[in-house]
Amino acid sequence: MIPQAMGMTVEMLEAKGPHFPNPLRKPEDLSQLKSEVDVRAELAYVFDAIRLTRRKLAGRVPLIGFVGAPWTLMSYMVEGGGSKTFMFVKTWIFKHPSTTHSLLARITDVCVEFLAHQVLAGAQMLQVFDSWAGELSPHDFRIFALPYIRRISARVPARIKELGGEPVPMTIFAKGAWYALDELCESGYQVVGLDWTHDPESAVAVANGRVTLQGNMDPNVLYGGREAITQAVERIAKGFGGGRKGWIVNLGHGITPFVNPEDLKWFFEETRRVTGASE
């Protein structure tokens, strides 16, 4: 949605995901982006959907807004979609670092506005997804991803207040960036999401109460049947201290294709049983 608001054509292809027919392959291609973006107008349909969803939920569960992180969005915009090698975006960041930071800053500006207006429309929490964070080395993550993650967490609450709203809790999920957990705990977010490469006990020790942790069962465990799910839930809950404080249960990434919905339900039910959580 962010690249679309910035002027790019985005197509959703079955079994492939987002596709950009005219990707940004060289700095000259930045001319296809809008110099100014009216987020409220360009993405009005999203805010309408949030308002409708919030009303239909009628307080049964909280409504979470989200956005892709600048590095991940830039990756899609340059690669033209998902990638196994990230050749084009890696070429860009190493060959044109100054232009890279300029583009990341422009993406960040739109992300801030998008998140702030989601809260005004009714989102009760926000999550920033850096799905391709793990494609960067620790050094490059600190240069091309982390500064913009921090910029979002610093600017969004202030922007919400400027618009007359009240800030909400924010979550950062940087998939694959296990090496940056300590820095993510200091990045201005109240919650840090973990993928399945984190050991719960170690993550709890690193976080040391600074943030709430979210995660992190490997979604592929859901293919293993109920016994495997129960064993994973018991192990993970124990690692997070029994699940009674400072932990939001979740998978370590999105649910994968062909998972039996009843097995996902079992995951929830076993979590409630093991942690003693209420409905």
Structural domains of the chain ordered from first start: 2-193 (3.20.20.210), 198-279 (no CATH)
Cα-based angle 11, 156, 245 (whole degrees, multiple of 5): 100
What per-residue confidence (pLDDT) applies to 278?
A: 61
Question: What tens digit of pLDDT does each residue of 243-263 get?
Answer: 778 999 999 998 988 999 999
Residues in the chain: 279
What per-residue confidence (pLDDT) applies to 158?
A: 98
pTM here?
A: 0.94
Strand partners for 12: 18
- Start-to-end CA distance of the chain, whole Å, equals 34
Token pair of 276, please?
């003693």
d(CA 219, CA 29): 38
Give the CA distances from residue 9 to residues 78, 147, 221, in Å, rounded to whole numbers and listed in that order. 12, 27, 36
Residue at token pair 């979740």: 250
d(CA 67, CA 5): 13
Q: Where are the alpha helices (DSSP H) in the chain?
A: 2-5, 39-42, 44-57, 70-79, 87-95, 97-121, 138-144, 146-162, 181-185, 200-207, 226-239, 261-275
Residues 6+ away with beta carbon under 8 Å from 117 = 39, 40, 43, 47, 163
Q: Where are the alpha helices (DSSP H) in 163-254?
A: 181-185, 200-207, 226-239
Cα-based angle 79, 80, 86 (whole degrees, multiple of 5): 20
Residues 6+ away with beta carbon under 8 Å from 155 = 112
Q: Which residues of the chain have pLDDT under 50?
A: none
Residues 6+ away with beta carbon under 8 Å from 174 = 69, 130, 133, 134, 141, 145, 149, 180, 184, 193
d(CA 180, CA 170): 18
What per-residue confidence (pLDDT) applies to 13?
A: 82
Give the DSSP letter string of 169-182. Answer: -EEEEETT-GGGHH
